[in-house]
Each structure stands twice: as structure tokens, then as C-alpha cells.
Structure 1
Amino acid sequence: MANYNNKANYNIGDAFYNWKIIGHSDKKGRNNSTYVKCQCICGKIKDVDLHNLKRGQSKSCGCIKPIKPINVRQIKIGDVFGKLTVNDFSWP
């Protein structure tokens, strides 16, 4: 059974987005907020505010960057994306 912290209401081993709680932290934030020791999927270990973790404000250590959408107007017939080649456009 996972270790349970009664006051802050979390279990060691809980996962939130790319974080996994691996232990307790002595760090305290503003307004005495609770921090937990977390490990990102890239392996980096960091103290993360539990409230931000549960709200989804902290999703990774920064190793995951948002993917920028491709502007459809910049794509031309004949453009190559990996093994795919644009042959035709289909507009809704």
C-alpha cells in the first residue's frame, strides 16, 4: 500500500500528467503551501507545489514543449512530412 499523507491528501506513487510523486518535501511555499518531491518522465527530480500539480498548472519540468500547429496555408502540393507527400488538398 502506498504511503498516505493525511494533511495534504496525496499518495506516493500518484501520477499527474508527466509527474510522479516520489516522496515528501520539506519545502513550503507562500501561504504555507505543501510541496511534494516529484520525478518527471525525463528523469528530473523537483519539488512541486501540490496544489498546482492537482490543478494541472504544473505538467512537466519544462522538458515537454507545446507543439506549434502548422499553418495550412503554408503547405503546398509536393511538400514532404517524413514519409508522407502532399498530393492533394481537401477543404471542408
Structure 2
Amino acid sequence: MMASVNEYYQQMEKTGIPKRFTHVLPPNEIEYKNWLVGQNGLPPVEEWRDRMYAETVKLLKTMQDGCKDQWDDDYWTAVIESKGVESPTNGHSLFSRCS
């Protein structure tokens, strides 16, 4: 296990990533999640969930002026429902508006 850790640290050093970011998963986060669920005998995470997560992270990074609701509920509800998944929102916004 230590060999694997040292290899990971070397890879981080080559790419200029400080060790303090050891537990930050991107850009391999999706690959890691799918490996992790596979280790537990579960199917990979659905592609639409990965897209929704990536879009959420991108949105959070671009919020320079504080918290505001810029989420396209209709688009993501359509994506979720097209995959045969019952909408988790029950008619409510995916995100609460910030006050």
C-alpha cells in the first residue's frame, strides 16, 4: 500500500499538485467512484448523475457574486425522467433559493 501512496505522491509532484490536495479526487473522481462501487458489487454510477455533478461543480466555481439560483430545473428533470428515474424533486426546485 505504501508503494501505491508513494507512486501517487510522485504523480502529484510531476503535475505540480501540492500534497495537501491528496484527497481531492478530480479529474479521476468519476473513474474512482465507479471503481469503488464495483468493489462493492454495485453497477457504475449512471452517466446522467455524473453530468449533473459536473455541472453543479462548474456552477459553484462560477458563482463570483454569491449564492444565486441559476440551475435549469426543467432541463435536469427531463434528463432524469428520460432515464426512467422518478424525479427526486416531487415538483420542487432541485436547489433552494438563497435568501
TM bucket (normalised to shorter chain) is under 0.3
Larger proportion of helix: 2
Give the TM-score taking structure 1 as reference length: 0.22
- The structure in which a higher percent of residues are strand is 1
TM-score normalised by structure 2 residue count? 0.21
